[in-house]
Amino acid sequence: MSDATRLSVFKTYKLYVGGKFPRSESGRVYEVTDSKGKWLANAPRASRKDARDAVVAARKAFGAWSGATAYNRGQILYRIAEMLEGRREQYVREVAEAERLSKSKASAQVDAAIDRWVWYAGWTDKIAQVVGGGNPVAGPFFNLSSPEPTGVVAVLAPQESSFLGLVSVVAPVIATGNTAVVVASEKHPLPALSLGEVLATSDLPGGVVNVLSGRTAEIAAPLAAHMDVNAIDLAGADEDLAKELEIAAADNLKRVLRPQPVDDWTATPGLDRMTAFLETKTVWHPTGSLGASGSSY
């Protein structure tokens, strides 16, 4: 049979939760189209229950992921870049369809996303050296401040930049040892759902990143109110939703990263997406005293 007559096989897009690929427990899907209205796929429409399951998975993964060495996390983030590079064409196609971009523009987005994983792979074992350090307190004490991940972070991925924007908000969260529940772009969820396939084959432990698709407002509300979520990135929320979620987040004083206008996701990021979800821990210890002498040489 020639290629021209062969019928292609469609992929059923599924959620990515706890390292597995479930459908929504609600059984719901919604139609995903390109900007001209052409049908692309039926994406799962995650429910409040799916969101809660994802939080459980993220919490379960937090201990081992935050306890892994920074070097190990860096290796895994770099592995994600390696895996993405090998499936570059697939993402170029998905991004081109989702965002209605030319192939070359979509390629640029995907390349930048791959390089972004590399950028954050390098940060895992450096962020502590840049934002932490010894403090010269006025007394006989050793005093060291170190950053630590805050915990489970709910991430509302940007609505427009379906892949580069997504990677740009997810990578900094997990680079520092947090685990994430990600709500994909509502209109363009397919690249995010496919990312799960790469994460699942990159030695990233299941549950470190969980990807949900559906109505952003519907999924975000239970996440913002969830008492076992430590922080929320509102990148994908509009002004009204962001305010509502920030209010809900106050119940357990979640760390909130408000939506910020991003003109160009390809620009080199700063540190703020990492520091937003880091705690600073300061350890004191007496240094004792040997008397004033010591050795001067």
Residue 67 binds other proteins (CB under 8 A)? no
**Choice from 36, 37, 253, 297 touching other proteins (CB under 8 A):** 297
Site string for other proteins, 141-180 (x = CB under 8 A): -x--------------------------------------
How many CB atoms within 10 Å of residue 171? 26
Distance CA 189, CA 112 (A): 19
Helical packing angle, 70-86 and 164-175, nearest 10°: 160
**Choice from 5, 8, 102, 289 touching other proteins (CB under 8 A):** 289
The size of the interface with other proteins (CB under 8 A), counted in residues, is 31
* 3-class SS of residue 135: coil
**Choice from 35, 71, 89, 250 touching other proteins (CB under 8 A):** 71
Residue 27 binds other proteins (CB under 8 A)? no
* 3-class SS of residue 84: helix
Closer of 35 and 133 to other proteins (Cβ): 133
Closer of 49 and 126 to other proteins (Cβ): 126
Residue 290 binds other proteins (CB under 8 A)? yes
**Choice from 44, 74, 149, 222 touching other proteins (CB under 8 A):** 74
Q: Which residues contact 90 (CB under 8 A, 6 or more apart)?
A: 194
Residues making up the chain, counted from first to last: 297
Decide if 32 contacts 162 (C-beta within 8 A). Answer: no
β-strands 209-212, 278-286 pairing: unpaired
Site string for other proteins, 125-144 (x = CB under 8 A): xx--xx---------x-x--
Using the rule CB under 8 A, give the single segment among 50-58, 97-105, 232-240, 285-293 that binds other proteins. Answer: 285-293
Alpha helices in 124-184, H assignment, sequence order:
127-131, 164-175
Tokens 């994430």 identify what position? 180
Decide if 256 contacts 246 (C-beta within 8 A). Answer: yes
Contact residues: other proteins, CB under 8 A: 70-71, 74-75, 78, 115, 118-119, 121-126, 129-130, 140, 142, 268, 271, 285-291, 293-295, 297
